[in-house]
Chain A
Amino acid sequence: MSRKTRDVLSVEWVKLELIRTAYATRGGLFAKMDARMVIGWYLMLAVAPWLTHNFTTILALFAITAVSAALARVGPLVLGLFLFGFLTDFLYAFLAAWMFGGDVNTAIALIEINLKLATVSLASIAAFVSLDPEKLSTGLLALGAPELLAFGVSYGYRMMPILFEEFGIVFTGLRLRSAPGARGFLGMRALWRWGTYAVQAFYPIFLNTAKSVRTTVESLETRGFTANQGRGLRIARLSIGGLDVAVVAVTVAAVAVAFGLGARWPLG
């Protein structure tokens, strides 16, 4: 056994990937857009698959969101998790159809629903990877969300790196100081131990953060957060430009084509 510093598939990598995703640091097409338009664009692609049972249309919609995800520069971690979920779902659909005596039609029905879910997932991944917390919260405000929800979203993002850091340190502490043990078959015992540490880490993290949140709440109070007169100013920062209109128009056209294709060459 030899330890080395890994750049991927390590805890550090997961942390960085989540930060990159949350803060939209990779850029991408939708990151340049107005938050309201991105949310609108997302809603359109999230609703469209549920309006049809036409397999061709669903495949076409899936293709549209797949291209969008590529344009949004989704990172490997999120994409990997998505693919893992997607493929295991398909496997499960086949197994279920086969074990419960279904035929090809059952399998196709299950694949259809999975494909719809995958389409919606890809659209949401593409949209939310592109919205940094400030944009998202302002966008939500503009769409009429309560101030507290909008702030909660941006504060949640703000806390994320801090909680990661804290979790990493407490987890390391537990790993170093708790009783060591054997790795077990396929490392199962070690995995079990790590699971226990992850749960145990919550006690210190909660207490440590509870203390710091007191300062945060006081500071919010002193900086007029509850005075709450800034809604108009925040929304006024948003603006819809040519790119926004173009992206939405192209997507509308593509969705229309998808439905057209389905009507012309229906599958299944």
Chain B
Amino acid sequence: MTAIIELDRLSFRYPGADRDTLRNVSLTIEEGDFVAVIGGNGSGKTTLCKTFNGLVPHYWAGEFAGEARVAGVDTYESTVAELSGLVGYVYQDFQNQLVRPRVRDEVEFGPVNFGMEDFAARGEEAMRTLGVDHLADRFVWQLSGGQAHLTALASVLSMRPRIIVVDEPVAEVDPAGAHALYERLTQLNRELGITVVVIEHHAQFITQYAKSVVLMDDGAPVWHLPAAEAAARADELAAHGIPAPQIIDACAAAGIEGAPRTVAEAATLLREAGVRPTGASSAGTDDAGEGEAAEQARPVVTASSLSHGYRTVAGDLMPVLHDVDLTVRAGDRIALVGGNGAGKSTLMRLLGGLQVPREGSIVLDGVDTRKASSSRLADHAAYLFQRPEQMFLKDSVRADVRLHPAGRGREDVDALVDHVLDRVRLTPLADRDGRTLSGGQQRRATLAIGLAMSPALMLADEPTASLDVASRDSVIAMLDELSGTIAAAVVATHDMHLVAEWATRVIVLERGRIVADLPPRELFADDALLAQARLVPPQIVALGRELGVEPLPLSVADWRDAVALSGTEALA
């Protein structure tokens, strides 16, 4: 194998910054490798990848020292345009990368710009390779997240690059879409020999797809190791903000050394070691208690024979929900799951009174949503939009949190705002614009906005999407703490960790119908249902099932309890 990317003592400082973002980086990537670049926020991962295609130092003209060679070309001597034939870059916010109206134009854009006569053939080939040729004549704004992501990939593939860089593929698509993208990248890597570099936070994708791993810390690589060796260094990864996959934690909890890559491997390891956690874990009894309480609790929102749909650009009615009946009771923590287009967001908007259904009725906290304006209903239900910056309407987090209670003339508004900011631990950052915060802080700021509305019902659209694992866990923990304050919460999500660790009730939507309404443990035990809704349980749940643990562990904490319990039984 030959080296395709060679960085030699490379340093880079952004204009106006007071320290180097990349510090003396020496790194070699072999042709045909599948590299995952990992590291905490601000470790220089993205800047590193932008040196490959010359954006650093040509577009971002900072202080550049050292040498970067890509396929033998010195990037400093070359240009971004020339390098774009070698390196394709797919952004984290890939939607903004699409600049042409239709998919075909988008994919042909690069080749046309470079005056390549065979642009049509190149476009066709790229679309076919990625299986998006049937979308060629769609407008880019009609695409789903996963389709848009593949289109962005096709648009760089049409340049026939030797290297493709993908920045955080999982951030803005659902897990099924992320797996599909990874499968395509693997195919490009295997069949066309394209070197793939991904920036990734999620240990499970790294162990499953990458061949080697580069760990970045504070602007320099700590090491570059084959994936298996990298996965074994769980403590080191955890220290850099990449918590180990749950199966590795599970093995550690049972006192077993080792780095299984899959659930099956972990199960084998545990069986061989004779670990059989079968005792009832404490979590199981809790659930039953909550279930009974829910029967008597007052309804917070009741939807009866709800049907809704939208007009399309072509003018016909696209039905989204069919005849949905749902009662959310006080104390419910509901996770709404289902693929893209299943109607999750629509159902939530209807429940919150943002829109009224075409048919059927909704009674929110005793008020018929048809009989009150959406701004009045905002006193009963808080709706948190999917992208946090859409909730930042003012120039500081404090002003945003204050907006609703102050407008309603609450007397204790200052005390309330202080209290809420304190609860989400954002008091020190309260005077900054929400957009300048990190992803996890932004989510917590939106939770604060919702809490300050003192709603009976909290509705949140994908509250853990595009967060790294550590921030995601902190948001889940916060949701957990806050549920005492609000009567009920409904969360639309693709995140099965959130479902397992937070929800008491899961509603599975498919094509606008509720196909199941059950506690998470029952959902994860039902293979047919999981397959139907294309859901993948978290590793710890899968491991629990593999080993026949009863009741299923929903979190690593549950697992630890189960292990501890069986341990004591064995001793007794």
Inter-subunit contact B100/A222 (CB<8 Å): no
Q: How far is it, in angstroms, between the C-alpha of A74 and the C-alpha of B380 when the chains are bound?
A: 43
B91, B95, B310, B314: most-surrounded residue (chain A CB, <10 A): B91
Provide the residues of chain B in CB contact with A172, threshold 8 Å: 354, 374
Asked if A212 and B96 make an inter-chain contact with CB atoms under 8 angstroms apart, the answer reads: yes
* Given known A219-B91, A227-B114, contact A180–B373 (CB-CB < 8 A): yes
Q: Which chain B residues (44-63) contact chain A, with CB distance < 8 Å?
A: 53, 55, 59
- Inter-chain CA distance A161–B243, complex, in Å, is 39
Closest 5 CB pairs of A and B: A179-B407, A229-B115, A224-B113, A230-B112, A176-B378
Tell me the B residues contacting A by CB distance below 8 Å. Answer: 53, 55, 59, 80-81, 83-84, 87, 89, 91, 93, 95-102, 105, 109-110, 112-117, 119, 139-141, 155-156, 159, 308, 310-314, 354-358, 369-371, 373-376, 378, 383, 385, 389-393, 395, 403-404, 406-409, 433, 435, 449, 453
Contact present for B313 and A175 (CB under 8 Å): no
Name the residue of chain B whose CB is nearest to the CB of A193: B375
Taking the closest CB of chain A, its distance from the CB of B180, in whole angstroms, is 22
Question: Are A5 and B155 neighbours in the complex by a CB distance under 8 Å?
Answer: no
A220 touches B99 (CB 8 A): yes
Known: A208-B389, A221-B55, A222-B89. A203 touches B84 (CB 8 A): no
Which A residue sits closest to B390, measured CB to CB?
A: A169
**Does A97 reach chain B (CB closer than 8 Å)?**
no
**Is A80 located at the chain interface by the 8 A CB criterion?**
no
A177 at the interface (CB under 8 A from B): yes
What CA separation (Å) do A175 and B373 show in the bound complex? 10
Q: Are B385 and A173 in contact (CB under 8 A)?
A: yes
Q: Is A134 an interface residue (CB 8 A)?
A: yes
**In chain A between 100 and 139, which residues have their CB closer than 8 angstroms to a CB of chain B?**
132-134
Given A178-B407, A207-B435, A16 and B117 contact (CB-CB distance below 8 Å): no
A–B Cβ pairs within 8 angstroms, 7 of them: A2-B370, A158-B99, A170-B393, A204-B390, A223-B113, A224-B84, A229-B113
Choice from A2, A23, A166, A222 contacting B390 with Cβ under 8 Å: A166
A158-B99, A204-B393 given. 11 additional CB < 8 A pairs? A154-B101, A170-B393, A177-B403, A178-B375, A180-B407, A207-B435, A215-B91, A215-B97, A218-B55, A222-B87, A229-B115
| CB of A228 to closest CB in B, whole Å | 7
Instruction: Please name all residues of chain A whose beta carbon is closer than 8 Å to the beta carbon of B55 when the two chains form the complex.
Output: 218, 221-222
A46 within 8 A of B: no
Q: Nearest CB to that of B84 among chain A residues?
A: A222
Interface of A is mostly: helix
Closest Cβ–Cβ distance, residue A217 to chain B (whole Å) = 9
Q: How many residues on chain A are close to B (CB under 8 Å)?
A: 61
Cβ of A232 under 8 Å from chain B: yes
**Contact check: which of B81, B87, B102, B358 meets A134 at CB < 8 Å?**
B102
**Which residues of chain A are within 8 angstroms of B409 by Cβ–Cβ distance?**
179
Q: Are B96 and A5 in contact (CB under 8 A)?
A: no
On whether the beta carbons of B370 and A223 are closer than 8 Å, the reply is no
How does the 8 Å CB contact mask read for A216-251 relative to B, with 1 for contact and 0 for none?
A: 101111111111111011100000000000000000
Asked whether A264 is an interface residue with its Cβ less than 8 Å from the other chain, the reply is no
Question: A53 near B: Cβ within 8 Å?
Answer: no
Report the separation of the CA atoms of residues A20 and B435 in the bound assembly, to the nearest whole angstrom: 33
* Inter-subunit contact A218/B59 (CB<8 Å): yes
Asked if residues A228 and B140 are in contact (CB atoms below 8 Å), the reply is no
Closest A-chain residue to B141, C-beta based?
Answer: A161
Contact of A224 among B114, B311, B389 (CB under 8 A): B114
Contact of B53 among A154, A173, A222 (CB under 8 A): A222
A232 and B115 in contact (CB under 8 A), knowing A3-B370, A5-B308?
Answer: yes
Q: For B119, list chain A residues within 8 Å (CB).
A: 230, 233
Q: B139 and A23: CB pair below 8 A?
A: yes
By beta carbon, the residue of chain B nearest A210 is: B435
A52 contacts chain B at the CB level, 8 A cutoff: no
Would you call A19 an interface residue if the criterion is a C-beta within 8 Å of the partner chain's C-beta atoms? yes
